[in-house]
Structure 1
Amino acid sequence: MESFTPSTDPIGQSVALSALLALVPLLVFFLLLAFAKTKAYVAGACALLAALVIAVVGFGMPAGLALLSATQGAAFGLFPVVWIIVMAVWLYEVTVRSGRFEDLRRVFDAVGGGDLRVQAILVAFCFGGLLEALAGFGAPVAITVTMLLALGIAPVRAATAVLIANTAPVAFGALAIPITTAANLTSYSGEELAAVVGRQTPLLAFVIPVILLFILDGRRGVRDCWPVALFTGVVFSVVQFLCSNYFSYELTDIVSSLVAMVAAVGFLRFWHPSGGHEAARRMEGELATARAGGWTSAGGGETDIGSAATDTAQDRLTPSRAWMALFPYILVILIFGIVNLWTLGIDIPAALAKTSIEIPWPWLHEALLDANGQPQSSTVYNFEWLISPGTLLLISGLIVAVVYSRFDDGGRYRLTVGGAVQEIWLTAKRLRSAALTIVLVLALAYVMNFSGQTISIGTWLAATGAFFAFLSPVLGWIGTAVTGSDTSANALFAKLQETAGAAAGLDPKLMVAANTGGGVMGKLISPQNLAIAAAAVNMSGQESVLFRKVFGWSVGLLLVLCVIVFLQSTPVLGWMIP
């Protein structure tokens, strides 16, 4: 098959014209999603078709290679992405089917001071941050949004809150893989880049819990609960800065999330939010309205958020029942922690990494070449069948099913292992439209990446000279919005950021870090994340609703970061950069 080397200026040897053409698939997707209100998989299919045509006709990519690029993206979409989503939702369904999730709601009711809004912050921001630190790749969104549903948050609010909460830990997510990836592609170490990222993203992360209050309950929520929200955010940001600069950048989100959780619980010992009962009634009414409109939870069940106040003596939460309710999520943290961190005696991460199977994508790997005429490493499909977050969630779920089936509290909780396994098929069936969306979106991303469309957009933005400091985060934003991964955005643009920064007389290290920070905001509007959130709240096909809810927040936070990075490139805030 004919070989191909991507070019950044195939249209009239103009990077600008080439970049404008390359933007067409993204515009097609987002316009169909936001304004035409088509189903996400329809928008994804149209955008993929546009990307294929532009790759072949505009960028000169052989049609066969363009189609092969799409198949590799689709394969990555199925595994690990869809696999993670199905397993995350399935784990939730196991806890619901067992009857233990109602006890989990009571646990958060006790920890959160009885205020539903505070409970939601602890789940979405603190617990979600911990899951992002350990797993990433959509698992935190899928798990925490189902937990918010179980607490009694209406589906659209739950999904919106979780998507926004997920921005805070993304830069250091999955043991800081985005930063490690950028370090491998540039002349800087992970510690050097993490120190700069740790002086950017915390400046936004501290306000995220307050934004969550506004999402959950409007101005009344902010007025009633802002002290604990602001305190939690500040603690998270301060610890994120300290860990990324002076401790271990790989463990930044783990430490930040745990310390923020403990700090919030401690704060609630001395201060109590007001208006909790009124907020609960408002949310209960909103959830009832959603159900009246035909919405049901993924499991078809209902959540009664008012039941905590009317628990009978038999329903009262005991320490053993609280432990069993928390067991699935403690187990998830334990398993992910061992797989990713345990090096005492035996290096478990290294040992398990050897189980991964590297598959050079047939025909594509030999034909897609870089500027030096060598096959591109990105055309190697890494089949991580054992250490994928999805597989680890499956193992966790099976253990939970066995434990729950053996300890049923005298028949009070009923779950069989066979029933839990059967739920896997039922969950996958319910998520089929979301899976199709994700497969199409990842196929789109791979076609754009391999044909040179994405890098053309990046090169165009990098040609703006000193103003590039302001636009630098936009590259990361675009990269993550397309691929759904801050790691992928750094893989695409980290080297370009370093080169463009040096050419423009800017600090290249600052530009590479800005790419990571910008990617954090792009995660909000990533079609992959939108599909995950929509599937988890049983709203597959309505991703456009979530997109319209989060787009403004994504752009607003991005603009703030752009201003911060620009000022850090000048004497005004230049002192912040080590």
Structure 2
Amino acid sequence: MNIDPLGSIGLSAFVAAIPIFFLFIALAGLKMKGHIAATIATSLAVLIAIFFYGMPTQYALAATFQGALFGLFPVCWIVITALFIYNMSVATGQFEVIKNSLASITDDRRMQALLIAFSFGAFIEGAAGFGTPVAMTCAMLVGLGFNPLYAAGICLLANTAPVAYGAIGLPVIVGAAVSGVDEMALSQMVGRTLPFLSCLVPLYLTVLMSGWKKGLEVWPACFVSGGSFAIAQFWSSNYLGPMLPDIIAALFSIVCTVAFLKFWSPKETWRFPNEPKSEGKAQLMYTGGQVFRAWAPFIILSLFVAVWGIKPAKAALEHIFFYKWTNPYLHNMVINYLGKQVPAVYNFNFLSAAGTAILFAWFFSIPVMGASMQTALKAAGGTFKQLKWPIYTIATILGFAFIMNFSGAAITLGTAFAASGSAFPFFAAFIGWLGVFMTGSDTSANAIFGKLQYVTAEKIGIDPVITMSANTCGGVCGKMISPQSISVATAATGMVGREGDIFRFTVIHSIILATLIGIMHYLWAYVFPWMVPAYEKIIAGAPKPVVDAAAAAAKKAATIQEGYMYIVGGIVLIFIVTIASRIAGAGPIKVAAGKDKAHFH
């Protein structure tokens, strides 16, 4: 892997960035459809890999193919199954109950955005990650009557503060493992940075939706929503580690915000200009049991993804089925900039995938919603039709990300940023931002640039935990402009073909927030070094402890056994929720015109 094919890192970086420049121009300026822009950008990346980086054509095509496979599974699998549940909820009329229950708490669109896009979205991010929260919350907001463009933009913007601890802390865990930074220290450093963003984002959302005057009117609710999230995020990340901050913070934020709205409400209800004027908070038209039943599928979804995210449970599921495919045309064929062979292994972990957890939630939700199998399958079939182009776009974009990584182009761009010297803590955030823009994943950005961040930090004499935190936190700001994330949002809001509109909506906010993250990490490095956690640094070259094979096997068996217990316990709890929701929610439900009332029991 030659990271400077033209003999000038600046010139090489310019060439490496051509596909990225094209994506920006195509989406923001040319208003090109996402699948077309993704196809051209990926083609450009392949050509640059072959003709500038000297990558054999076979390797370049194999890398692109492997990325597309990853895009189809697990990424698209999550989006597909998440929309299974939403579409069935709409088809059975249960979503009308959800809408009414939210409107009875508040009919103010700003408050609904805080509860769903920010707090509930953070919970789903913590449990599943990888596009699930955007898919779920976008669909819910559109179902409530939000303008689709605003629903997509708001959900993408809200999905920033929780991303670093998404999927049970995976970005931090992977970042620590790849870079060599202590995992708890990285969790603490990220947890001392993102709470500032968590406090800001709710108010940012409301101002973006309704303008400065109307946005500032609801600052108390924003303060409660973001402040409660920030406090819980700081505490859990600094004292418990990276796995639970999102889930704990989201639940605390939801409870605090709902409780606050019982005693406080905006002076004037705000709705989008094209909506009819609000007639006041809606009256709850359903019994508590019926509301519980309508929300039960999403409770079941949360339980499934939470159980699936527990390490022992994941190990147990992968013990049952786990297929690993080694790409014969790419595996260990590429030597990276550290002189190590790059593996090309595709893991088909169907049972332990978050999308499969959501699929099981869909199965359990069929009787909860009172749907016939015909209705459920029809909703599922409609989902595939709805996602035809987004699936293609996501697969293509992941192909783009993989060819950028395997060719060395991504490292070229990172190295160019690293040449900034003492200003590197600021630019380190934009390396993470760029990584997430390319891959759609903070985890992937940390995997790509983790070692680069560590090595560069040591060269300029600052603690590597600062630059790794910058990479992680900067990455969360790139999520909202990632073509992968935008494709998920367009699929969930019915805006397929309008990816450019969403990109233009989010790009300036992405840059503003990434700049803020960069400034904070520059301050942590040189002005407020006491913000950096104290930890025991790993000495390079130190001998690794000898692992006893028998003890390791016994530990693995015990972990799997523990995982089965988690799974059984989780399913028992889900059965209880399923049965309780059917009993509590018994009775007729008003169905929107055109729905088949025979499907309700």
Q: What is the TM-score of this pair, normalised by structure 2?
A: 0.86
Following the alignment from structure 1 to structure 2, what is the Cα–Cα distance between the partners of residues 456 and 76?
Answer: 23
Partner of 1:69: 63
Q: 2:419 is aligned with what amino acid?
A: A
Say if 1:402 and 1:417, in contact at 8 Å, map to a contact too.
no
SS at match of 2:6: coil
SS at match of 2:167: helix
1:9 to 4, 16, 21: 4
Partner of 1:339: 308
1:364 to 316, 325, 330: 330
Partner of 2:552: none
Following the alignment from structure 2 to structure 1, what is the Cα–Cα distance between the partners of residues 145 and 84?
Answer: 19
Following the alignment from structure 1 to structure 2, what is the Cα–Cα distance between the partners of residues 558 and 429?
Answer: 36
Matched, 1:140 2:120: no
SS at match of 1:382: strand
Map Cα deviations across residues 369-393 of structure 1 (whole Å, 9 max, x no partner).
345765423x111112112222111
1:284 to 275, 282, 302: 275
Following the alignment from structure 1 to structure 2, what is the Cα–Cα distance between the partners of residues 248 and 506?
Answer: 23
Q: 1:328 is aligned with what amino acid?
A: P
Matched, 1:324 2:293: yes
Partner of 1:388: 353
Partner of 2:442: 486
1:532: Cα distance to partner? Answer: 0.5
Following the alignment from structure 2 to structure 1, what is the Cα–Cα distance between the partners of residues 328 and 88?
Answer: 38
Matched, 1:83 2:112: no
Task: Select between 385-394 and 67-76 the one with higher mean Cα deviation.
Answer: 385-394
Following the alignment from structure 1 to structure 2, what is the Cα–Cα distance between the partners of residues 116 and 428?
Answer: 30
Partner of 1:565: 521
Residue correspondence of structure 1 range 50-199 to structure 2 within 5 A: 50-111=44-105, 113-199=106-192
1:224: Cα distance to partner? Answer: 2.8
Shift in alpha-carbon separation, 1:223–1:508, aligned structure 2, 3 A: closer
Following the alignment from structure 1 to structure 2, what is the Cα–Cα distance between the partners of residues 569 and 353?
Answer: 41
Following the alignment from structure 2 to structure 1, what is the Cα–Cα distance between the partners of residues 102 and 49?
Answer: 50
Matched, 1:271 2:264: yes
Map Cα deviations across residues 112-166 of structure 1 (whole Å, 9 max, x no partner).
x342321221011110000000000001000011111122111011111100000
Q: 1:360 is aligned with what amino acid?
A: T
Partner of 2:318: 353
Matched, 1:222 2:215: yes
Say if 1:109 and 1:116, in contact at 8 Å, map to a contact too.
no
Q: 1:271 is aligned with what amino acid?
A: W
Partner of 2:452: 496
Partner of 2:570: none
Map Cα deviations across residues 298-317 of structure 1 (whole Å, 9 max, x no partner).
xxxxxxx87974x6xxx822
Say if 2:173 and 2:242, in contact at 8 Å, map to a contact too.
no
Following the alignment from structure 2 to structure 1, what is the Cα–Cα distance between the partners of residues 182 and 332?
Answer: 31
Following the alignment from structure 1 to structure 2, what is the Cα–Cα distance between the partners of residues 484 and 387?
Answer: 21
Q: 2:220 is aligned with what amino acid?
A: P
1:185: Cα distance to partner? Answer: 1.3
Say if 2:78 and 2:131, in contact at 8 Å, map to a contact too.
yes
Say if 1:153 and 1:283, in contact at 8 Å, map to a contact too.
no
Say if 1:434 and 1:541, in contact at 8 Å, map to a contact too.
no
Map Cα deviations across residues 190-246 of structure 1 (whole Å, 9 max, x no partner).
101111111111111211111111232223431331111122111111211111111
SS at match of 1:168: coil
Shift in alpha-carbon separation, 1:249–1:367, aligned structure 2, 3 A: closer
Shift in alpha-carbon separation, 1:558–1:154, aligned structure 2, 3 A: same
SS at match of 1:206: helix
Q: 2:3 is aligned with what amino acid?
A: T
SS at match of 2:243: helix
Shift in alpha-carbon separation, 1:90–1:117, aligned structure 2, 3 A: same
Matched, 1:574 2:569: no
Following the alignment from structure 1 to structure 2, what is the Cα–Cα distance between the partners of residues 464 and 212?
Answer: 33
Following the alignment from structure 2 to structure 1, what is the Cα–Cα distance between the partners of residues 108 and 69?
Answer: 43
Following the alignment from structure 2 to structure 1, what is the Cα–Cα distance between the partners of residues 314 and 279?
Answer: 44
Map Cα deviations across residues 269-314 of structure 1 (whole Å, 9 max, x no partner).
33221211xx23735259xxxxxxxxxxxxxxxxxx87974x6xxx
Following the alignment from structure 2 to structure 1, what is the Cα–Cα distance between the partners of residues 280 and 495?
Answer: 25
2:23 to 20, 29, 36: 29
1:511: Cα distance to partner? Answer: 0.6
Q: 2:4 is aligned with what amino acid?
A: D
Residue correspondence of structure 1 range 171-570 to structure 2 within 5 A: 171-276=164-269, 279-280=270-271, 282=273, 284=275, 309=282, 316-341=285-310, 347-354=312-319, 355-370=321-336, 375-377=341-343, 379-405=344-370, 415-570=371-526
Shift in alpha-carbon separation, 1:418–1:306, aligned structure 2, 3 A: farther
1:491: Cα distance to partner? Answer: 0.2
Following the alignment from structure 1 to structure 2, what is the Cα–Cα distance between the partners of residues 155 and 509?
Answer: 39
Backbone CA RMSD of aligned residues: 1.8
Following the alignment from structure 1 to structure 2, what is the Cα–Cα distance between the partners of residues 175 and 330?
Answer: 17
Following the alignment from structure 1 to structure 2, what is the Cα–Cα distance between the partners of residues 128 and 7?
Answer: 40
How many residue pairs match? The answer is 532
Say if 2:436 and 2:482, in contact at 8 Å, map to a contact too.
yes
Following the alignment from structure 2 to structure 1, what is the Cα–Cα distance between the partners of residues 227 and 79?
Answer: 31
SS at match of 1:263: helix
Following the alignment from structure 2 to structure 1, what is the Cα–Cα distance between the partners of residues 79 and 339?
Answer: 37
Following the alignment from structure 2 to structure 1, what is the Cα–Cα distance between the partners of residues 394 and 109?
Answer: 32
Following the alignment from structure 2 to structure 1, what is the Cα–Cα distance between the partners of residues 50 and 149?
Answer: 39
Following the alignment from structure 2 to structure 1, what is the Cα–Cα distance between the partners of residues 276 and 101?
Answer: 23
Map Cα deviations across residues 447-488 of structure 1 (whole Å, 9 max, x no partner).
111000001110111122101111110100000000000000
1:349: Cα distance to partner? Answer: 2.4
SS at match of 1:282: coil
Task: Select between 388-397 and 494-503 the one with higher mean Cα deviation.
Answer: 388-397
Task: Select between 253-262 and 115-124 the one with higher mean Cα deviation.
Answer: 115-124
Following the alignment from structure 1 to structure 2, what is the Cα–Cα distance between the partners of residues 281 and 460?
Answer: 44
Q: 2:428 is aligned with what amino acid?
A: S
Unpaired runs of 5+ residues, structure 2, are 534-601
Map Cα deviations across residues 514-537 of structure 1 (whole Å, 9 max, x no partner).
100010001011000001001111
Say if 1:398 and 1:417, in contact at 8 Å, map to a contact too.
no
